[in-house]
Structure 1
Amino acid sequence: MKVALFFFIVLYQIIKIMDFNVYDVALAKQFENASIKSMPLVAWDIYSQIFFQTNMLLLDVHSLHQIASKNQWKSMWDFKESLQEETVIVVTDAKLKIVFASKNIQKMNGYEVDEVIGKSPKMFQGAATDLQVSNEIRQAVLNKEPFEKNVINYCKDGSLYKCHIKGFPIFNHKGEVTNFIAFEKIAA
């Protein structure tokens, strides 16, 4: 009974955030692509977790599309595929202040989305971060060039993790850099 109540509370909160049409389309797509069309009653707790994760992914994708539209991005990525691969997506403005972080950032480094918005990605760096790698990333950003690097970052609790970052400048239709986007994963 608690699982069902949790499911409906989460569903109600998601519906409040999302437009009903977006929700209906997303739900239809999920069931359309699913190999199993129905779930036995004993699997509701598992199903609700997957349903919740799918809706969080769709909210992230929707937010990314809004940022892209607002800033008139010249190119687009398949955000849904990236997020399904447990890739964290971080978007900064042209001044390198974080304007978006996918909700799965908390799983990677312990930070909630609200804790990183408005801050610089340098917040994840510290004494163990290789200065040469940081300088190479900084130079690529200044030159408005893509980069791919492994860097030692810090979790919220102070522990270290090796992060593989693919970063790209994002240009609008006028050729101006409006944002930078980074696709981040835990490096092996």
Structure 2
Amino acid sequence: MKKAKLEEIANHNSVPILAWDFHYEYLNELKVDFADLKKVKEISAHFAWDEEHLNISERIREEVVVVTDVDLKIVFASSGITTMTGYTESEVLGKTPKMFQGKETSKTDLKEIREAIELQIPFEKIVKNYKKNGKPYICRIYGSPVFNLKGKLSHFIAFEKEDLSA
């Protein structure tokens, strides 16, 4: 009887530990997402963005968010940047997205992106980028100019995701 009771207790106690581990990881992910969203909201509030069509709150959990100033210098990168590229936010701040390009990045795609930026219109592209360790990855990018409430260009925002199907 005692042996059966000990096995029952041992089996019963292992489930909550696993559940807490899962719950703890999920809470940490939510904290990171919330911190990222808070930073973007602070930038948005400071520069009086017109956020109507950006859907930042919905996208920040599934995509890497990169915000540049009008000179294309990175002013914010969500925490997912490290997983996708190997770079930390502090390593990309002040640099341009060119840091992710390499020898096999399509010049045609880059030209089309540059034209969209110059015309201040949204674009969507799939490009070959490079991680910090030099390995290439396929990146889906949706980029958009961000205007303040007076209609003046304030920043550019990109929602990026590694395309694992390619």
Q: Highest CA radius of gyration, 1 or 2?
A: 2
Residue 50 of structure 2: aligned partner: 74
Residues in 1 aligned to 2:93 and 2:128: alpha-carbon distance in whole angstroms = 21
Q: Is 1:164–1:185's contact at 8 Å kept on the other side of the alignment? A: yes
1:162 paired with 2:138, answer yes
Report the number of matched residues. 149
**Match for residue 58 of structure 1 among 31, 34, 57:** 34
**Match for residue 184 of structure 1 among 120, 143, 160:** 160
**Match for residue 134 of structure 1 among 88, 110, 113:** 110
Give SS of 1:84's match.
coil
TM-score (norm 1): 0.76
Percent of paired sites with the same residue = 43
C-alpha displacement of 1:170: 0.4
Residues in 2 aligned to 1:131 and 1:71: alpha-carbon distance in whole angstroms = 32
**Match for residue 83 of structure 1 among 53, 57, 60:** 60
Residue 11 of structure 2: aligned partner: none
Residues in 1 aligned to 2:120 and 2:55: alpha-carbon distance in whole angstroms = 21
Residue 32 of structure 1: aligned partner: none
Q: Is 1:57–1:80's contact at 8 Å kept on the other side of the alignment? A: no
Kindly provide the amino acid, as one letter, of the partner of residue 167 in structure 1. Answer: G
C-alpha displacement of 1:79: 2.3
TM-score (norm 2): 0.85
Give SS of 1:45's match.
helix
Structure 2 unmatched ranges of 5 or more: 1-14
Residue 153 of structure 1: aligned partner: 129
Residues in 1 aligned to 2:39 and 2:83: alpha-carbon distance in whole angstroms = 19
Give SS of 1:145's match.
coil
Q: Is 1:150–1:165's contact at 8 Å kept on the other side of the alignment? A: yes
Structure 1 unmatched ranges of 5 or more: 1-38
